[in-house]
Structures are given as C-alpha cells and as structure tokens.
Chains A and B, each alone.
Chain A
Amino acid sequence: KNEVEQSPQNLTAQEGEFITINCSYSVGISALHWLQQHPGGGIVSLFMLSSGKKKHGRLIATINIQEKHSSLHITASHPRDSAVYICAVAGNQFYFGTGTSLTVIP
C-alpha cells in the first residue's frame, strides 16, 4: 500500500470548470507539498502547508491533519493548467503520490 494516495488518477475538464484533486496519506507528517509537473517534465512546487488553507491566484490547497487528507482546488480552470499534479508528504522522508493527470479542454 502506498503511503500517499491520490484521486482521481486522470481528470478531464472543460475550460472554466472548478477542479478538485484529493490526497490521502497514512504516515505522520510535518508538511504536505503540492507539485505540478508539466508535459516537458519540469516540476514546480505549488504549495507547502502544514495546516489550514493556502491560496495562490486560482489555486487553493487545504489540509486536514486529523483526517490525513488534503485537497487541491483550481478555480476557473484553463488549458494551461493541464499538467500532472503530485502530492508529497514530508514524514521521516518524502513520500509521493503517483499524480493526477489533468487535461483542460478549451
């Protein structure tokens, strides 16, 4: 069993839709990261959070420590949001989810 589970694995949305990607983990953590990997392979760190909620532009990340669950929301999705979104948790080391592949159709 993976320490980090993401859902869905694949997601297709129409431009403008509200998108939610979920992450559940089974280990004790000090922080949770959301990463974005573009088709070319480059990885960008979107959020690092240990409690509550963070917002950057159209992206919102929340975490519930008690339930060991985090969500990444994208409001007013756009084709340029198409990428793989990866949840990673920092326990005694980094554990990664297998990613959610998002495609936003114009």
Chain B
Amino acid sequence: NAGVMQNPRHLVRRRGQEARLRCSPMKGHSHVYWYRQLPEEGLKFMVYLQKENIIDESGMPKERFSAEFPKEGPSILRIQQVVRGDSAAYFCASSLSTGLQETQYFGPGTRLLVL
C-alpha cells in the first residue's frame, strides 16, 4: 500500500511563474490536508479538502493560492505569480475519514524555490 505521494519533490520557479504541486493520498483516503513549512519556521495549516470540496481554507493566503481535490486524480495546490516568500516546503497529508482527530499520513513534501 503506497503511502502519500507528492510530486515534484523539488520545484524551482522564477518570480511571476506558476507552481503546481500534486498530492496523491493513500489508497482509500478521501481527506487531504496541505501544510507549509517556511525556512526556520514550524508547519502551518493551509487547507483541508475532501473529494471535490474545500472544507477549511482558513490557512490559505487570500491571493494567488488555490487548491482542489477532484473526483479523479491527485489534489493540486496551485500558486500563481510566485514570489520569493513562497519558497518553502509544502507537505500534504491524508486521512481515512473526517475530522482533525484522525491520524494523518504525510507525504515527503515538495520543496519550492523561487528565484
């Protein structure tokens, strides 16, 4: 049973470009969470999604960031017009059922570097 997969593992973008980060949850998991870890800082919650629904996006920046989890395929975190401050590690986690009290399984992360 493959774990949570994220790709790419490393992504380099120039300022103003778009970054697309993909997350495939564990088999059978329909709940996905995205977190950001800025350099020298702790993890911060960004968004919680179920299939085709955004449940909680209170941690998402208001502009340039969006997330989706379609019926088929991976969850996508999209960052438009990236800036240097977006450089961070972005982690995805999945859980089997609803609620923040469920065990979450983390992917290896995508390290985004904005030049």
In this complex, the member of B43, B48, B58, B99 whose beta carbon has the largest number of chain A beta carbons within 10 angstroms is B43
Q: How many residues of chain A are within 8 Å of chain B by beta carbon?
A: 23
Q: Is the CB of A44 within 8 A of B100?
A: no
Chain A, Cβ-Cβ closest to B4: A43
Interface of A is mostly: strand
- Closest Cβ–Cβ distance, residue A33 to chain B (whole Å): 7
Are B105 and A93 touching (Cβ within 8 A)? no
| Option from B59, B100, B105, B108 in Cβ contact (under 8 Å) with A31 | B100
Task: Please tell me if A90 contacts chain B, counting CB pairs below 8 Å.
Answer: yes
Is B42's CB under 8 angstroms from A86's CB? yes
Residues of A within 8 A of B93 (CB): 43
Enumerate chain B residues within 8 angstroms of A98, measured Cβ to Cβ: 41-42
Contacting B43 at CB < 8 Å: which of A48, A50, A96? Answer: A96
B33 in contact (CB, < 8 A): yes
| Interface size bracket, B side | 20 to 34
Cα A65 to Cα B35 in complex, Å, equals: 26
Distance in angstroms between the alpha carbons of A95 and B56 in the assembled complex = 14
Per-residue 0/1 for B101-115: is the Cβ within 8 Å of any A Cβ (1 yes, 0 no)? 111111011010000
The reply on A30 being an interface residue by CB < 8 A is yes
In the complex, the chain B residue whose C-beta lies closest to that of A49 is B101
Which residues B43-68 have CB closer than 8 A to chain A?
43-45, 48, 56, 58-59
A43 touches B91 (CB 8 A): yes
Known: A86-B43, A93-B59, A94-B33. A41 touches B101 (CB 8 A): no
* A93 touching B45 in the complex, CB below 8 Å, given contacts A41-B108, A42-B108, A42-B109: yes
Given A41-B89, A41-B108, A86-B43; A48-B102 close (CB under 8 Å): yes
Interface core residue of B56, B59, B104, B105 (most chain A CB under 10 Å):
B104
Contacting residues, chain A, for B59 (C-beta < 8 A): 93
Q: A residues engaging B (CB < 8 A)?
A: 30-31, 33, 35, 41-45, 48, 50, 86, 88, 90-99
Would you list 14 pairs from A and B whose C-beta atoms are within 8 A, ordered by A residue? Answer: A30-B101, A31-B101, A33-B104, A35-B106, A41-B108, A41-B109, A43-B91, A43-B106, A88-B43, A90-B100, A94-B35, A96-B43, A97-B42, A98-B42
